[in-house]
Amino acid sequence: MASHTVARTVWDPEAALFRKRGVSNALIVLNQPLSAQNTAFLKKVWSKASVKMCVDGGADRFRTAMATCTDELIPDYVTGDFDSASKETLEYYKSKYLQSLYMSSFLQGSIVIHTPDQDYTDFTKALQILGKNTCLKVPPVKLDWVLAICGSFDRVDHMMSIFNTLYESEKLLDGAPVCLLLENSLTWLLRTGQHRILTPPHLTGSWCGLIPVGAPCTSVTTTGLKWNLDHSEMSFGKLISTSNAFDGSESVTVKTSGPLIWTMELQRHCVTEAL
C-alpha cells in the first residue's frame, strides 16, 4: 500500500533575520516608533536586503533614526497615501533618485510612489507594489522573506490592520512570507496545514503564542511546546494559546485546520547580531 507524505512548511526564523547566507529578503519600515534596537538592526542588515521600502511616515522615522548615515541608507521605494510623511522627507528621497539618474547608470535613489486608495492600508499597498515586481533590478528579485519592521504598537486598530495584511499577503506576493519584527519578537501567519518552525535554543526567548485571529480553528496539534495542543479547537471566546513556552526542542511542529498567528520571543542578541 502506497504511503502519502503530507507536505510540511519549514520555517527558519534566522533566515528572516538575515542570519543565514544566500537569502533574498525585502525590508519594509512601517510607520511605527523605531527603538534603538530596531535602528541598530536596520543599520546591520540594510545592505543585505534585496529590496528596501519605507511606508508613509515610516520614511520620516527611518530618516530620523539614521541621521548619522542618511545619505548611505536610502530605500528603493517610499510608498503610501502620504498623510503622515513630511513633504520635506519625500522631496529629500526624490532628490536622491534624480541624482542617481545623472551620476550613475544604476538607479540607487528612492522611487516615491503615491498610493491614495483608501480601501487598503499603506502596508497592504506596499506589498502590492512589491508583488508586481517593479523594482528596477535586473534580473527581477525572487524573495524568500518580507520582513516588516513594526517597532512598537501604540494603537490596537493599527495592530489589527497589520494582522489583516498578513492574511491578505498570500495573494499579493509570489510565495514570500511576510514576517513582523517588533522589539524582540517575530510574528507571521501559519496557513492551514502542517508546519515545522526551527527553534534552536540560542535563538528562542521565553515565550511564544498561537492565536486564531479572524476565524476558529477546529483542530490544532503541536509538539515542542511546554503546553502542547492535541486536536484542540481554538477561537476567541474559547481557547487561545498565549504565554506558551518552548520545551527545549530544536523545532516546534504545528498542524492546523485554519490560519493561525504565530508569535515568538527572540533572544536579544539574535536581533542585533545579524551576519
pLDDT in tens, 32-83: 999 999 999 999 999 999 999 999 999 999 999 998 887 789 999 999 999 9
Q: What is the mean pLDDT of the chain?
A: 89
Per-residue confidence (pLDDT) for residue 2, from 0 to 100: 40
Peptide bond into 139 cis (omega under 30): yes
Inform me whether the pLDDT recorded for 105 exceeds 50: no
Q: What is the pLDDT of residue 31?
A: 95
Q: Which CATH superfamily is domain 8-272 in?
A: Thiamin pyrophosphokinase, catalytic domain (3.40.50.10240)
For residue 4, pLDDT over 50 is answered with: no
Q: Is the pLDDT of residue 240 over 50?
A: yes
pLDDT of residue 214: 86
What is the reported pLDDT for 222? Answer: 99
Kindly indicate the confidence band of residue 102, based on its pLDDT and cuts at 50, 70 and 90: very low
pLDDT at 101 over 60: no
Q: Is the pLDDT of residue 96 over 90?
A: no
Give yes or no for residue 1 having a pLDDT over 70. Answer: no
Residue 154 predicted with pLDDT over 90: no
**Which residues does 120 contact at the CB level (< 8 Å), separation at least 6?**
128
Residue-level pLDDT at 81: 97
